[in-house]
Structure 1
Amino acid sequence: MERGMTADQVLKALWRRKVLVGAIVLAVFAVGAAIVLSQPKVYEATAVVRVQPQRPGEEMVQRTVSELVEQRLLTVRQELMSRPVLQRAIEEMNLYPEIVSEDGIEAAVTRMRKDLTVRVEGESAFELTYASNDPQVAAQVANRLPQLFSEQALKSRQEQAARATQLFQDELTSLSKSVTDWERKIAQFKVDHLGELPEQLEMNMRGLERVGALLQTKSEELRVAEARRSELARARNAADSEAGRLESAEHSLTQQLVGARSSWTADHPEVKRLSQELSSMREKRKDAEGRQWVERQERARVGDLIATIQKDIDALHQQAGEYQQRLDRTPKWAHELGVLQRDYEIARTKYQSVVSRRVEAEIAQDLELKSAESLFHVVSPAGVPAVAARPDRVSGMIIAFLVALALGVLTTMVLEMRDDSIRDTEELRDRLPLPVLAVVPNMHGKAEKRVLMPATGVRNGVVPPSSSDSPLN
């Protein structure tokens, strides 16, 4: 049966079974030591990388890569353990050739994830540790992985900057076509409504004023010409009367001269007088007819002048009408042109904004290329480890010894607790409800033999077996 044990009983039990305890301890320790000694050496190499901030660049130009490079530390472990980075490292340095040949690259990537440890240090640095059976390979991989990570991160940032630049370029091409279309529409609109545009309003008003002034001038010239024609008409009547009167007088004098010549000789005073009067009358008639011809020419000239002035006045009235029509239609075309120019200004503003953003994107892309080498700085490169990190053989030996010792003690305790043998009077008192009357000493050799005589045995004539007869002695 099971029972509790005191510390003294435990020590006595261990001492009685010291051979068994020693055998168990030696066997378990030998197995543990063999396991510890059979473990391969694993070397660990560590590299520390610091991320440089990019504040000066952001002050100079608006960056198209919105993510700060320091923010990549939040996901640095996932990125370093991503398949592209690890696969490139495996292929580049020929890692895990047996796993790759037997199970494929995916199994090698999984194994490398187990051998790789990434830990963020502070706000701008991370520590990368790689474990390998070869110290040279451990140092080589620990130094190469930060380079691959930085190349991957920089490539991603540069691709993002290039995509932003290309996006602005595509948008600029589209907006350029839109601006060109609007400019063509506005130009065609101005051609179609030339002379009636808002910017020509003042010119049309001045033209109308100028035509009005010319009309006044021509009207005055017409009035003067009409008056002159009236005067010439009245003078014509008078001239006609004078020429007729002189012609009639000349005809009368001619008859009288003919009558006188028939009556008198040429030297007669009456004949001479009539001849002189006739000559004078003819001169007056010719002079009157000459003036009449001049007046007729003047009347013709004045008539032509009046016709010309009237034609000019009609032309000026037509021009005034055209100017007035232009002025009447200008508000309508001004509204339509305003709508066109408003849409054109919107498109042009977008175009100028995109041009500015594209220039900034190109500058940002150049800055990404120029600052690539300074973004990630290896503060502490990984050196070749001289001592294996695993396994710790001394600690392993100590743990194996402690496990062996614990197993030996545990085995002894289990056997002791399942043993029902009685070895002394105290056990007898504890296990039997009868009092002990005497102890018979062990008489073998010089040792004293004691016999335990319970009172019940004497009373009933039964003597209990001696200590030497106990199966546990």
Structure 2
Amino acid sequence: MERTYTLQDLLAALRRRRLLALVVAGAVLVVGVALALGVPSEYSATSVVQIEPRRLGLDFFPAQNGTPFEDRMRTIKHGILARPVLERVIRETDFYPDLRDDMDKALEKMRRNVEVRLEGEVPSGAPALLFVVEVHGRDAEKVARAAELLPKYYGELTRQVLEGQARALRETLDGQVEQMGKELAAHEQRLLAFKVEHTAELPELLEDNARAIGRAQSQIEMRLGAIADAQRRRLEVLSSIPESLSGPGLAESTLADAQRRLNAAEAAYGADHPDVKRARRELEESRSQREGAFDKFRSERVQGHLARLDEEVRGHEAQIASLRKEMAGYQKRIDAAPRFGQELANLSRDYEVLRAKYAATISRRADSAAAEQLLAADQPTMFRMVETPIAPRLPSSPDRPKLLWIAVLAAIALGLGAAALAEWLDASMRGPEDAATLGVPVLAAIPRIDRRRAS
């Protein structure tokens, strides 16, 4: 059977093993105190930085405006822990003298010793972001210096990036303005050339062309009337009988007299009579004279008048042909007006779109130039140090009193544990109670003899 220990038994065992407990506790305490006092002191310094709101529009840096705090904080943290910033701080402060030749390890260690966290927004005034940079290290002066330089160099790097973005945007816009200016000038030339070439076919002159056709039609009708009048007068000339006092009229009278004399002579004398023959000769002469007089009359008066009438008719016909050709040209312009109007509308629309883009690009270029000036003006106030770090007088870690208390408690616990273990491993019997664990009855027991009392 197993023996149960009372409090007195435990105290007795502790008295028996007190030397072992004291030795173990003392050794643990010495080691704990040595460790607590030997751990290097680590200092920490913090700087609180306020990001002033930029005076730039959303068009320039849309990704950095209206962004949630978590995303902005992540951007700031990555920027502060970027290699250019950390490497510059490490070299300037000589933060890790033992890692001067191994910058990669120094950067990795520095990232573990730097903490960047969001503090929140400024409660009053324009919206501004607060963040804290906390640096840990073994040199108080270097820690404070690093906590001051990290946001400063990050601000410079951010400003350089923003200035580079604004400069690149302005240069891009300069090229676009130059190219679009050339395109706009070429488009203006094409539009002007089209208007000059197709002025008469444009829809704006549709009514003018229609009125011109109406005027030409009126002139044609007037010319046709003049031709009809000339033809009527020609017929009158051809059907007119010469007057009796004129040359043809006298010749006609002479011919009639000769015909009467011939008829009278033939009736009186017969066909072979000399008077009849003379009358026949006179008749032929009168007929010849009449034909000559008529020919002369026609050539002198009728033919000339007819020629003038024919010339007048030909002139009217030529004018009519010219007017009809002119009408065909006007009609062709009217028929082509919709097509050229659509082409002009397309050219004008493209021109207006290009001109609007050109104006917008010029405006953006002016804004980008203003952005560069604003960034230069905002340089001193883009990042404002709200709380400047100072060199700490006391280390932030380790907590030596706490470590000492832990060492004391560990020494006591291990000392007691060593005594208990030694007592448990000891198989000797010190009284009837120990013998009872063997399962046999105890016949007799020799009491403990106190030597001091016996003497």
Taking structure 1 as the reference length, the TM-score comes to: 0.69
2:340 maps to what in 1?
333
CA distance in 2: counterparts of 1:38 and 1:97, whole angstroms: 21
SS of the residue 2:154 aligns to: helix
Which residue of 121, 138, 142 corresponds with 1:137?
142
Superposition deviation, residue 46 in structure 1: 0.8
Q: Answer 1 or 2: higher relative contact order, Cα 8 Å, separation at least 6.
A: 2
Structure 1 residue 121: Cα displacement? 2.5
How much has 1:47 moved relative to structure 2?
0.8
Q: Could you tell me which amino acid in structure 1 is paired with residue 324 of structure 2? A: H
Deviation digits for residues 312-342 of structure 1 (CA, Å, limit 9, x no counterpart): 3332222112112222233343444445555
**2:399 paired with 1:392:** yes
Q: Give the paired residue count.
A: 400
Q: 2:385 aligns with which of 378, 382, 391?
A: 378
Which of residues 222, 242, 246 is equivalent to 1:242? 246
The share of aligned pairs that are identical, in percent, is 29
1:422 correspondence with 2:429: yes
CA distance in 1, matches of 2:6, 2:245: 181
Instruction: Kindly indicate whether the alpha-carbon contact (under 8 Å) linking 1:64 and 1:164 is maintained by their aligned counterparts in 2.
Output: no
> Superposition pairs for residues 35-434 of structure 1, below 5 Å?
35-53=35-53, 58=57, 62-68=59-65, 70=69, 71-101=71-101, 104-122=102-120, 124-168=129-173, 176=181, 179=184, 182-220=187-225, 238=242, 242=246, 308-344=315-351, 347-348=354-355, 350-352=357-359, 354-355=361-362, 358=365, 367-430=374-437, 433-434=440-441
Match of 1:260 in 2: none
Using the TM superposition, give the Cα deviation of residue 66 of structure 1 relative to its aligned residue in structure 2, in angstroms. Answer: 2.1
Q: Aligned in 2, Cα 1:341/1:433: closer, same or farther, shift over 3 Å?
A: farther
For residues 240 and 420 of structure 1, the distance between their equivalents in structure 2, rounded to whole angstroms, comes to 192
Q: Which amino acid letter does the alignment assign opposite residue 411 of structure 2?
A: A
Q: CA separation in 2, counterparts of 1:339 and 1:443?
A: 128
C-alpha spacing 1:176/1:110, structure 2 compared with 1 (3 Å): same
Quote the Cα distance in structure 2 between the aligned partners of 1:438 and 1:95: 75
Aligned counterparts of 2:300 and 2:136: Cα–Cα separation in 1:
135
* Structure 1 stretch displaced more, 156-165 or 27-36: 156-165
Q: Which amino acid aligns with 2:113?
A: D
> What is the letter of the counterpart of residue 137 of structure 1?
K
Letter in 1 for 2:117: R
**What one-letter code is carried by the residue in structure 2 that aligns with 1:328?**
D
Provide closer, same or farther for how the CA distance between residues 228 and 366 of structure 1 changes in structure 2, counting only shifts above 3 A.
farther
Cα drift, residue 122 of structure 1: 3.5
Aligned partners of 2:150 and 2:181: how far apart in 1? Answer: 46
Residue number in structure 1 paired with 2:20: 20
Do the aligned residues in 2 keep the contact of 1:45 with 1:129 (CA within 8 Å)? yes
What CA RMSD, in Å, does the superposition of the two structures yield over aligned residues?
4.1
Secondary structure of 2:337 counterpart: helix
SS for the counterpart of 1:122 is strand
Q: Is the Cα contact below 8 Å between 1:13 and 1:416 reproduced in 2?
A: yes
Report how far residue 423 of structure 1 moved.
2.7
Shift in Å at residue 17 of structure 1? 2.8
C-alpha displacement of 1:296:
10
Residues 208 and 126 of structure 1, relative CA distance in 2, 3 Å threshold: same
In structure 1, distance between residues paired with 2:301 and 2:325: 36
CA–CA distance in structure 1, aligned partners of residues 104 and 445 of structure 2: 81
Structure 1: how far apart are the matches of 2:454 and 2:209? 151
**Deviation of 1:146 (Å):** 1.0
**Structure 1 residues 401 and 443: CA distance shift in structure 2, 3 A:** closer
Per-residue CA shift, 1:141-189, capped at 9, x if unaligned? 1011011222233333444444455555555555555555554554454
Find the aligned partners of 2:244 and 2:136 in 1 and give their Cα distance: 141
Q: CA deviation at 1:353?
A: 5.1
Q: Which amino acid aligns with 2:201?
A: E
Given that 2:46 and 2:389 are in contact with CA atoms closer than 8 Å, whether structure 1 keeps it comes out as yes
Q: Contact 1:100–1:107 at 8 Å: present in 2 too?
A: no
**1:275 corresponds to:** none
Q: Post-superposition shift, 1:138?
A: 1.3
Return the alpha-carbon distance in structure 2 between the equivalents of residues 240 and 232 of structure 1. 16
The 3-state SS of whatever aligns with 2:451 is: coil
Seen in structure 2, the aligned counterparts of structure 1 residues 441 and 384 have a Cα distance that, compared at 3 Å, is closer
Q: Which runs of 5+ in 1 are unaligned?
A: 250-291, 449-473
> Compared with structure 1, are the counterparts of its residues 355 and 443 closer, same or farther at alpha carbon in structure 2 (3 Å cutoff)?
closer
Q: Give yes or no for contact 1:136–1:384 (8 Å, CA) kept in 2.
A: yes
Residue deviations 1:253-281, cap 9 Å, x none?
xxxxxxxxxxxxxxxxxxxxxxxxxxxxx
Query: Deviation of residue 246 (structure 1)?
Result: 8.7
Structure-2 change in CA distance of 1:214 and 1:408 (3 Å): same
In structure 1, C-alpha distance between the alignment counterparts of 2:246 and 2:326, rounded to whole Å = 47
